Amino acid sequence: MKPFLVRRATAEDAEGVEAVHITGWREAYGHVLPQEFLDDLENHIDVDRWRRTLAGPDEIAYVATIATENPRIIGWATAGKSREADAPAELELMGMYITSEWYGTGVAHELIQHAIGTQAAYLWVLKDNPRAQAFYRKEGFELDGAEQNYKLGPSEVLIARMSRPE
């Protein structure tokens, strides 16, 4: 038996999703975001917005929880119809975070399988995040040359698009 479970997210998961979101930003973006902003993330990520998002009828959102009597959320993924007119696929992996203690355990792979399966899809990733890019390559994604500046918290960063065919 796996030490975690993946299931469809609900509005009741908003606080756990927000907690992983905050932890994920602190773990993944410490080299590009000011420490004072990271220390104050609870005031920048809105749990009510997560409740509305997770309650949406068209939202593709999954959470991973530890498989115990008192499960807690350790990761999440959201996907949906492309937000770009010239996207390389109709499906976008919009967000995914896993707490670092669960890196390398299969949680991220399972979340991707639930959120987008093997469909053609794309995502945007921080250009300066080789760990995430290496993971997505294992899932069949490749950098496709598209890059753009992106406002991440108070900082301007460069993001790169990764896509995979069906």
pLDDT tens-digit series, residues 62-90: 999 998 888 999 999 999 999 899 999 99
Q: What pLDDT is stored for residue 77 in this prediction?
A: 97
Mean pLDDT on 112-129: 96
From the CB of residue 91, how many other CB atoms can be counted at a distance below 10 Å? 20
Q: What pLDDT is stored for residue 12 in this prediction?
A: 94
Site of tokens 């990761």:
75
Mean pLDDT on 14-39: 94
pTM here is 0.93
Residue 121 CA to residue 160 CA, distance in Å, equals 14
17, 9 contact by CB (below 8 A): yes
Domains of the chain: 4-117 (3.40.630.30)
Residue 59: pLDDT band (50, 70, 90) is confident
Indicate whether 55 pLDDT > 90.
no
Q: Take residue 83 and report the two structure tokens written for it.
A: 């937000």
Indicate whether 57 pLDDT > 80.
no
Mean pLDDT on 20-49: 91
